[in-house]
Structure 1
Amino acid sequence: MVAHKQKKINRKPLNKSRILSASILIADRDGIDALSMRNVASLLGVKAMSLYKHIANKDELLDGLIDIVISEIELPDSGLSCNEFMKKRAISARKVFLKHSWAPAVLESRLQFSSIRLNYANEIIGKLRESGYTISKAAHIFMVLDSYIYGFIIQEKNWNLEAKNEMKDFVTEEMQLEMQKYPYIIEMMSLIHGKKNKGKKKMMDLDSEFESGLDAILDAYERMK
């Protein structure tokens, strides 16, 4: 009987970049609570202790993930007007945070500021300052815009309009009768989920709603200069 030689598994060398890539995959797929050195090691097919040669602890891991997320957000061309710059940055941030929905909470909890995070914030605040806003007003606008981005994302992730439209078939007659007591809620939900138009339903365009809110915020601040 001829013995078969066992094929060697060609593993890529372990490094910080591979560890961070595996970590962000776990966070995106299973949520930030599922992120542990043990789970990262399991995904990479190594022992957990081997990670500590490249990542000191979980704090360094989280800081590294935030740097990756921030790097994905587009900082627009500085030649744009202030409102155009802020709007493009916010639209890009929303797209990135929808992909990494765990990131806003982690970002706001981190006390370490890398050069990536510092440059990101400095560019945004700098654009506001160079456009004539005082430092106190620039800081206020920065915080308000981020609050708007985070809040909008929470709503749209929880609304999940397509899934909720499918669930409408399971709403009982009793529930429908109960809802008649709240005409303004029905009116708003009809708008969000879409009214029938020639037999078709068109849901609220969340991209347009997000941009409309941005315009209202930025236009209001511009008038307050």
Structure 2
Amino acid sequence: MNARSKVGRPKASDQKISKARIIEVALPIVQRDGIEALSFRTLADQLGVTPMAVTYHSGSRQQLLADLVAVAFKDTLGQVDGATASDRVRQILTAYYTRALANAHLLRAVLSDPSLMSVDLKHVTGALGTCTKDLNDGDAGSVLLHLLIDYTHGFVLSAASDETDTLTIDDYLRGINWVLDRARRT
């Protein structure tokens, strides 16, 4: 055996892989090509390690997807400081729309498997729910909240699949403004 062939597990000092590095490499793949393009083999090839090393550091595919969702939607809300509930709804939904559009493939994954929902996504829903309750306190079924979330998801998925880029955030906000205008009237 020559000196260049190494058998067995690499020394810890030779490791060039971590969970953070795996996520850093995986996120652009998913953003560009979808979760179907994500495999431990693909990640291993890009990281210069074995697929088993990727699995060891990232856990299951489900765990990796959950971690990707957490990173992609981390701090989505930022600072929400609108003067009115309608202003706060617009700020929340603008921040969420922007992040969801960049991560539409991960959004599809969450919609297919709600167990992937991150803490930050739950915070978006909670903050939006507080605002819609302020806007329409008689809405016991949270219809306004669900309407805004469903509209946002539908618009994001349409915009993400629109190869001509004709749908803009201004188009999205026109729809939000229409809904909010009607909510104030009821």
TM-score (norm 1): 0.66
The alpha-carbon deviation at position 104 of structure 1 amounts to 1.9
Which structure has more relative contact order (CA 8 Å, sep 6+)? It is 2
The alpha-carbon deviation at position 212 of structure 1 amounts to 1.0
Q: SS of the counterpart of 1:102?
A: helix
Q: Answer yes or no: is 1:210 the counterpart of 2:169.
A: no
Alignment equivalent of 1:157, drawn from 137, 155, 160: 160
Per the alignment, residue 111 of structure 1 pairs with 115
**Residues 39 and 129 of structure 1: CA distance in aligned 2, closer, same or farther (over 3 Å):** same
Q: SS of the counterpart of 1:216?
A: helix
Q: Distance in 1 between matches of 2:89 and 2:39?
A: 35
**Residues 159 and 50 of structure 1: CA distance in aligned 2, closer, same or farther (over 3 Å):** closer
Per the alignment, residue 24 of structure 2 pairs with 21
The alpha-carbon deviation at position 28 of structure 1 amounts to 1.5
> Could you report, residue by residue, the CA deviation over 1:154-187 in whole angstroms, capped at 9, with x for unpaired residues?
333344336xxxxxxxxxxxxxxxxxxxxxxxxx
Per the alignment, residue 94 of structure 1 pairs with 97
Q: Distance in 2 between matches of 1:50 and 1:117?
A: 30
Per the alignment, residue 51 of structure 1 pairs with 54
Q: Distance in 2 between matches of 1:12 and 1:129?
A: 51
Q: Distance in 1 between matches of 2:159 and 2:121?
A: 26
Q: Answer yes or no: is 1:219 the counterpart of 2:181.
A: yes
Alignment equivalent of 1:74, drawn from 74, 77, 81: 77
Whether the 8 Å contact between 1:75 and 1:120 is mirrored in structure 2 is no
Taking only the aligned residue pairs, the percentage that are identical comes to: 18
Whether the 8 Å contact between 2:136 and 2:183 is mirrored in structure 1 is no
Whether the 8 Å contact between 2:30 and 2:38 is mirrored in structure 1 is yes
Q: Answer yes or no: is 1:121 the counterpart of 2:125.
A: yes
Q: Distance in 2 between matches of 1:28 and 1:51?
A: 19
> Could you report, residue by residue, the CA deviation over 1:195-219 in whole angstroms, capped at 9, with x for unpaired residues?
xxxxxxxxx6733221111100111
CA RMSD for the aligned pairs? 2.7
Whether the 8 Å contact between 1:28 and 1:101 is mirrored in structure 2 is yes
For these two proteins, the number of residue pairs brought into alignment is: 173
The structure having more radius of gyration, on CA atoms, is 1
**Residues 134 and 43 of structure 1: CA distance in aligned 2, closer, same or farther (over 3 Å):** farther
Q: Distance in 1 between matches of 2:143 and 2:118?
A: 22
**Residues 113 and 211 of structure 1: CA distance in aligned 2, closer, same or farther (over 3 Å):** closer
Q: Distance in 2 between matches of 1:84 and 1:207?
A: 16
The alpha-carbon deviation at position 80 of structure 1 amounts to 3.2
**Residues 43 and 87 of structure 1: CA distance in aligned 2, closer, same or farther (over 3 Å):** same
> Could you report, residue by residue, the CA deviation over 1:90-120 in whole angstroms, capped at 9, with x for unpaired residues?
2222222222221221122232554333333
Q: SS of the counterpart of 1:136?
A: coil
The alpha-carbon deviation at position 135 of structure 1 amounts to 6.5
TM-score (norm 2): 0.77
Q: Distance in 1 between matches of 2:153 and 2:54?
A: 32
Per the alignment, residue 183 of structure 1 pairs with none
The alpha-carbon deviation at position 130 of structure 1 amounts to 4.6
Q: Distance in 1 between matches of 2:162 and 2:123?
A: 33
**Residues 89 and 159 of structure 1: CA distance in aligned 2, closer, same or farther (over 3 Å):** same
